[in-house]
Amino acid sequence: MARYQKGDVDAFAELVSRHEKRLWNFVRRFVADSATAEDLLQEVFLRVVRSAAEWHPSAKFSTWLLTIARNLCTDQARRGALRKADSLDQTPGARGDDSGPHRIDKVASPDGNAERAAMDREIALRVDQAVEELPVEQREVFLMREMMDLSFAEIATATGASEPTVKSRMRYALERLRSALVELHDQNGPAAVEVTP
C-alpha cells in the first residue's frame, strides 16, 4: 500500500490479487446477490484507491479493507436492499455471472464417490442457506472469522463491538448452523469430539 501511495499501480494490483478472492466470498456470502456483491467488491477497492492517501502504515491493510467492506455491506443490509439470496437451485444466468446448471453442481467430488459428492452438495446447500439466514451481526462475525480468517479481537475492532460480544455472536451463529445441519448429522452420525487433555 505504501508503494501505491507513491504511485506504483503494480503494487496495488498485487494487493488486489492477494485479497480479492477472500473479500469476494465475504461480500458474496454477506449480500448473497452476485451482482450486488460485484458492485460492492468494486466499490470497496475504489474506496481504497480514493482513500489511499489516508492510509497509515501502522494500520493492518486487511483489517482496513475488511472494515470498508463490512461498512458497505452493513449499509446495504440496513437500507433494506438486501435481496433474497439466490437459491442454490436457481437457474443460472438469471442473475450475476454465475454459469452452469447449478452452483452446487460445480462442486466436484474429489474421490469420485457419487454418494459422498451428493452429501457434500447437500451440506453446502444447507450451509449456504444457513449463513444467508443469519442475522447481519452474526453473519458478519461468522464470515469474518471463517472467510477472512480474522481473530476475535480484530473482528471486535472492525465491528466496533467488544470481544465477548463478538464471541457471543459467533456462538449464536454456530448454534443456528448446527440447527440447520442437525438432520445431516443424524444421517451421518455424530462427529467424534477430539479433546486433547
Partner 1 sequence: MNCAQIKEQLVDFLYDELPASLRAAFAEHLRGCPGCSAEVATYQRTLGQARAALAGPLLQEPPARARLAVLAAARTAARSARKAEGPGFFARFWRTPWLLPAFGAVSVATVVFLVRVLKNPEVIPGRWRQSVEEIAPATPQPIAQPPTAQPAAETAAAAKGGDKEVEVAGIGRVAKASGHKGKATGGMMASKAEAPTSESARKRKDLGFDPLSGSLRGNATAGGSAPSRFAEPPPPRAAAKASREIDDLMGSFDTERKATPPAPTETKQPTAKKSSAGREKDTLSLDEFAGAPEPAAQAARPSAPSYAPAGAAAAPAPQPATRPAKMRQAEVAAEAATDSASEPSFDGKAKEKADKGGSKDAPSLDEGIRKADRLFAAADWTAAAAAYRDLLRRFGNHKDAPKWRDRMNQSLVAEEESRKLQTPKATKAAKVKTTDDVLKGEK
CA-CA-CA-CA torsion sign (40, 21, 171, 164): negative
- For partner 1, the binding residues in 25-44 under the rule CB under 8 A are 25, 28-29, 34, 38, 41-42
Kindly tell me the burial class for residue 158, based on how many C-beta atoms sit within 10 Å of its own C-beta (0-12, 13-18, 19 or more): buried
Does position 3 bind partner 1 by CB under 8 A?
no
Separation between Cα atoms, residue 18 and residue 10, nearest integer Å: 12
> Which amino acid appears at position 178 of this protein?
R
d(CA 183, CA 64) in angstroms, rounded, equals 39
193 binds partner 1 (CB under 8 A): yes
Among positions 130-169, residues that touch partner 1 (CB under 8 A) are 130-131, 145-147, 152, 167-168
**b/e sequence 30-39, b meaning 16+ C-beta within 10 Å:** bbbbbebbbe
Site string for partner 1, 111-130 (x = CB under 8 A): ---------xx-xx--xx-x
Which residue lies nearer to partner 1 by CB, 80 or 153? 153
Q: Which three cell numbers stand for residue 55?
A: 492510509
How far apart are CB 167 and partner 1 at their closest, in Å? 5
**94 lines the binding site for partner 1 (CB under 8 A):** no
Which residues fall within 8 angstroms of residue 165, CB to CB, at 6 or more apart? 156
Sequence-distant (6+) residues with CB within 8 A of 35 are 95, 96
**Residues 85 and 32: beta-carbon distance below 8 Å:** yes
**Judged by CB under 8 A, which of 2, 9, 81, 118 binds partner 1?**
9
User: Counting contacts by CB under 8 A, is residue 24 touching partner 1?
Assistant: yes
Taking the complex as a whole, the smallest distance from the CB of residue 72 to partner 1 amounts, in Å, to: 13
Does 12 bind partner 1 (CB under 8 A)? Our answer is yes
Please report, as ranges, the residues that interact with partner 1 according to CB under 8 A. Answer: 4, 7-9, 12-13, 16, 20-21, 23-25, 28-29, 34, 38, 41-42, 45-46, 49-50, 52, 97, 103-104, 106-107, 120-121, 123-124, 127-128, 130-131, 145-147, 152, 167-168, 170-171, 174, 177-178, 181-182, 184-185, 190-197
